[in-house]
Amino acid sequence: MSQTGNTHRPKVIVTRKLPDSIETRMAELFDVTLNLKDIPFSAEQLKAAAAEADVLVPTVTDTIDEGVIAAAGDRLKLIANFGAGVDHIDVSAAQAKGVAVTNTPGVLTEDTADLTMALLLSVPRRLFEGEKILRAGKWTGWTPTFLMGHRIEGKRLGIIGMGRIGQAVARRAKAFNMSVHYHKRTRLPAQTEAELEATYWEDLDQMLARMDIVSVNCPLTEDTNRLLDRARLKKLQPHAVIINTARGEIIDEEALADLIEVGRIAGAGLDVFAEEPQINPKLLELENVVLLPHMGSATIEARVGMGEKVLINIRAFTDGHRPPDRVIPG
């Protein structure tokens, strides 16, 4: 680790390696400890960091549970998360202890939507199957029936969760002449629905039974944990494809693998997994499943933008103002 010292500035501890420009600015503004080796903190290291810091900057790889927050003592005042999702942080325990939590929404929307569309195209068109065959030297030349997939034009896309990312996916799908459908706890305003040409389904089960492709774009909460369990997955049509760029825990991976293996679901494109970085072995064995290493926001623009939001939130908070991206327990 690397540390810059100035006791008159807030003590900030960053748990993972961030873009160089962000780390440099943090060193200019704060008494910061950086994780230059980029090795994830253990639970004990997180507790030690919480006890030492005025501001803790974790990422999705850090579990900031009640135990970590309890270890903070009275010094920790802000958890400035590097990321939009905060399911790895016990926000309620933080609030009860008087610790504010912020996140970085908005800046990763377009990149995650782009990756969602990349998966949405690659699974029906069998792109990764073809790439593997080519690299293995097994391609013998063009034939009329080789690796036939499905076009996405005119297909029904069911989006679970219609926040920033879901709407960005809907705009892209509309450009591909797909029929956009969605399920959300609260229905979108009529004007937004009209702009997206999106059909609302109050009943998720009814929507799932009618879709060609399902995209998971909702946050992970107590209500969405295993939202797509075995019973719900069975409601999909055999030709349907699932795309998940949200959180792995939203889908019962074991059930998904089983149903794809026997042909009850056509395939899947997954960027997130329930036990990251471990991957369910059954998923690894399936040819019609595209697996990516949680890279939905992995663009230079998004990661720098996330870091800039962290800086703004810390500066606002330490200057006595309400940080713009404060998370309120729901």
Which ranges in 97-247 belong to alpha helices (H)? 109-125, 127-135, 164-175, 190-196, 204-208, 230-233
Active site residue 276: yes
The residues, ordered by sequence, that sit 6+ positions from 86 with a Cβ below 8 Å of its Cβ are: 101, 103, 327
Instruction: Count other Cβ atoms within 10 Å, centred on residue 105.
Output: 19
| Per-residue tokens: 132 | 């593997």
Catalytic residue among 52, 193, 195, 276: 276
C-alpha distance across the termini of the chain, in Å = 35
181-to-196, 227, 262 alpha-carbon distances in Å: 10, 18, 27
The residues, ordered by sequence, that sit 6+ positions from 314 with a Cβ below 8 Å of its Cβ are: 10, 12, 29, 30, 55, 57, 78, 80, 323
Catalytic residue among 126, 172, 247, 303: 247
Dist. CA 34–CA 135, nearest whole Å: 40
Dist. CA 251–CA 230, nearest whole Å: 9
Catalytic residue among 88, 232, 294, 326: 294
Catalytic residue set: 247, 276, 294
